[in-house]
């Protein structure tokens, strides 16, 4: 049975979302903060999903410059989406939870680490094929 390349990303999203939903129910005092964290997790999952399209396009291209261009474009797209999400949150939510923003950027690193690990594994598999 082969797993899809996005399976670890979906697994990360599901586990983190379940944790945030549980925290929302068990700690109603911090509901707004955990909802913001859940929203950030959703934004990161969607950004990661779209950046995977760039990665797959880059992996299928035999030109090294095109591969690197797609990798950098995907990272720039994901970072831009994240910055835009934080700005929207900062301008629409009063008071702004610093914890939610810090957790959001911590999750950014978790998703990016998982992405890089998957892409390097796919790249090795493509070179061996």
- Asked whether residue 24 is domain-assigned, the answer is yes
pLDDT in tens, 35-77: 889 999 999 999 999 888 888 888 888 888 888 888 888 889 9
Mean of per-residue pLDDT scores for the chain: 87
Instruction: Report the domain count for the chain.
Output: 1
- Asked whether residue 129 is domain-assigned, the answer is no
For residue 82, give the nearest of 116, 119, 48, 118 by alpha carbon: 48
- Tell me what the mean pLDDT of segment 89-104 comes to: 89
What CA–CA distance (Å, rounded) separates 112 from 9? Answer: 10
- Asked whether residue 1 is domain-assigned, the answer is no
Q: Give the range of the structural domain holding residue 40, as residue numbers without chain letter.
A: 7-122
- Asked whether residue 128 is domain-assigned, the answer is no
What CA–CA distance (Å, rounded) separates 9 from 75? Answer: 15
Residue 4 DSSP label:
P
pLDDT reported for residue 1: 38
What CA–CA distance (Å, rounded) separates 96 from 88? Answer: 11
């Amino acid at each position: 049975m082969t797993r899809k390349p996005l399976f670890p990303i979906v697994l990360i999203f599901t586990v983190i979302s379940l944790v945030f939903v549980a925290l929302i129910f068990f700690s109603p005092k911090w509901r707004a903060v955990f909802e913001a964290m859940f929203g950030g997790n959703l934004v990161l999952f969607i950004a990661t999903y779209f950046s995977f399209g760039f990665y797959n396009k880059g992996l299928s291209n035999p030109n090294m410059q095109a591969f690197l261009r797609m990798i950098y474009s995907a990272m720039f797209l994901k970072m831009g989406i994240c910055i835009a999400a934080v700005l929207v949150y900062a301008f629409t939510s009063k008071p702004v939870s610093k914890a939610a923003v810090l957790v959001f950027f911590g999750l950014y690193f978790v998703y990016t680490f998982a992405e890089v690990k998957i892409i390097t594994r796919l790249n090795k598999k493509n070179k061996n094929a």
